[in-house]
Structure 1
């Protein structure tokens, strides 16, 4: 029977982080800023998360606008946001220390409520003692005196050089369409990083590529896979069939640029009363599995059968 340990440690230029480990994998969650799950890796493995290791975080992406006397930084790793995205609403600076509470096999991270948006974010993270499985519960509370309309949105910013597989809907809907898609103004459908398969979409992160790319889908199967460093990261959630999702019905979105690739899952968009909350759950896992050569959906099917089903 394994054991989960927690320990506060200094990590690169991110300051203090809480390490959650079980002898198989480890997570590092920033507590001087954020929070961000800035590291998820095997104990002696390479980090699956993108890290902005610039000293002042000034080169992690485009120049973000000032908001409320501070600047939002991507930092990297995994974060909680709200959808639909907006400027400056989405880019509220989260550069202050993060209160947290230890729980069985993990911790709950609860930064101060956002002064202008009046949202209270909370992420509960637990690690299975005997495997790489991580459970994340994301919670958003409306601290305002009026209703707010939003969807929880969780973005996992992954390290460069990897290859993503996104499962498309496969339900037989007869004469009706079964696959919805959202494309952003900068998305080029002829982009050489994307493979439009029959059951899956493949997306490669190419360091230094000059263009951004983003696509959203009405996910049916609720998972995506990312191969990098000889390992396989799997992110899972539970999409609701015909749910009311942002961006035209998208519960899964993915983005890449010159620096990283993002896996993004979304909860339903709803009106939240004062003092009420919404939650959104994810499950992560990590396996020692190298990226298969080429693009073959039978090979992908076998990996899905082995690691997801």
Structure 2
């Protein structure tokens, strides 16, 4: 069977979806969380937190690891609603799971994640759904966060480089947080890419956000490349001064994040945000931007066609 119930990491009620090439594991004991994604028999591309994985219940928010759904903009305590309760899992076909969270008591928002795996390729479509169950309208943005395993580097696209005499207007915002340090050696700001490296020996956090009309972000770890694509909507209002992609790192992980536009939801209304994940192996990026461009260009072209 492509979908099977399994135990994972101390959680007894998990669901594994696999096409024989890649696999994803979601837990029904907490969430909604996709706790594992990777090649069959290979490493988990997502981070796991051994002191938290397998835990259930309680009022404290736990990161657990894996992939999760939040609603932006970030604020405490609203954003950090503890997703420690069981979720409903619906198996729609051999390659599709739907994870349905009970409505959050603090916020009146219900989270759903629909995971649909390609039957033969290392490709997964992940639909994130937020529903307003309040009696009043609320404004929010869907926010999809993948906590990536240690030791890799995030790659974000830069706008096309155009000389000053050919283009006078700005290209896009790059947003900093108060703790962003652009002199940190984990950052590289190039003409074609922004790189953020995950370093287990550097505990101080770093974060940056961009408007990302290219609609992709990647994480390279070893010879494997995880790439997510989404639709950036030109002219829409995004959270955090216009960010549709954000990256965060500390000593434990690196988060590769995409966001949908800010949306006003009337009671009973929902909003969706879709990511398409791709996983490649044998990808050698090199160190220079020319080497990285040569390695990434065929992958970006292929995934753009597959995303549709």
Q: Figure out how many residues of one structure are paired with residues of the other and give that number.
A: 296
- The answer to whether structure 1 residue 111 and structure 2 residue 104 are counterparts is no
- The answer to whether structure 1 residue 298 and structure 2 residue 295 are counterparts is no
What is the rounded CA distance, in whole Å, between the counterparts of 2:180 and 2:299 in structure 1?
Answer: 30
Report the TM-score when normalising by structure 1.
0.92
**Any idea what the Cα deviations from partners look like across 1:109-135, whole Å, max 9, x if unmatched?**
111110110001111100001101100
- Tell me, which stretches of 5 or more residues in structure 2 are unaligned? 302-308
Q: How big is the shift at 1:57?
A: 7.8
- Tell me the residue number matched to 1:102: 91
What is the rounded CA distance, in whole Å, between the counterparts of 2:196 and 2:106 in structure 1?
Answer: 36
- The answer to whether structure 1 residue 143 and structure 2 residue 133 are counterparts is yes
Superposition map of 1:146-157 within 5 A: 146-157=136-147
- The answer to whether structure 1 residue 217 and structure 2 residue 213 are counterparts is no
Structure 2 SS opposite 1:146? coil
Structure 1 SS opposite 2:111? strand
Q: How big is the shift at 1:245?
A: 0.2
**Any idea what the Cα deviations from partners look like across 1:173-193, whole Å, max 9, x if unmatched?**
921100211101111010100
- Tell me the residue number matched to 2:281: 288
- Tell me, which stretches of 5 or more residues in structure 1 are unaligned? 59-67
Superposition map of 1:67-146 within 5 A: 70-104=59-93, 105-146=95-136
How has the CA–CA distance of structure 1 residues 55 and 281 changed in structure 2, closer, same or farther, with 3 Å as cutoff? closer
- The answer to whether structure 1 residue 31 and structure 2 residue 11 are counterparts is no
Superposition map of 1:184-263 within 5 A: 184-263=177-256
Structure 2 SS opposite 1:307? helix
- Tell me the residue number matched to 1:22: 19
Structure 1 SS opposite 2:10? helix
Structure 1 SS opposite 2:79? helix
Matched-pair contact (CA < 8 Å) for 2:238–2:261: yes
Structure 1 SS opposite 2:290? helix
How has the CA–CA distance of structure 1 residues 142 and 47 changed in structure 2, closer, same or farther, with 3 Å as cutoff? same
What is the rounded CA distance, in whole Å, between the counterparts of 2:61 and 2:52 in structure 1?
Answer: 15
Matched-pair contact (CA < 8 Å) for 2:9–2:53: no
How has the CA–CA distance of structure 1 residues 301 and 292 changed in structure 2, closer, same or farther, with 3 Å as cutoff? closer
What is the rounded CA distance, in whole Å, between the counterparts of 2:70 and 2:248 in structure 1?
Answer: 15
Matched-pair contact (CA < 8 Å) for 2:286–2:292: no
What is the rounded CA distance, in whole Å, between the counterparts of 2:296 and 2:286 in structure 1?
Answer: 16
Q: How big is the shift at 1:30?
A: 1.3
Q: How big is the shift at 1:308?
A: 1.6
299-308 or 42-51, larger mean C-alpha shift: 299-308
Matched-pair contact (CA < 8 Å) for 1:168–1:220: no
What is the rounded CA distance, in whole Å, between the counterparts of 1:293 and 1:206 in structure 2?
Answer: 18
Q: How big is the shift at 1:69?
A: 6.7
184-193 or 5-14, larger mean C-alpha shift: 5-14
What is the rounded CA distance, in whole Å, between the counterparts of 1:266 and 1:118 in structure 2?
Answer: 20
The alignment yields a C-alpha RMSD, in angstroms, of 1.8
What is the rounded CA distance, in whole Å, between the counterparts of 1:155 and 1:246 in structure 2?
Answer: 15
What is the rounded CA distance, in whole Å, between the counterparts of 2:161 and 2:244 in structure 1?
Answer: 16
211-220 or 161-170, larger mean C-alpha shift: 161-170
Matched-pair contact (CA < 8 Å) for 2:3–2:17: yes
Q: How big is the shift at 1:171?
A: 8.0
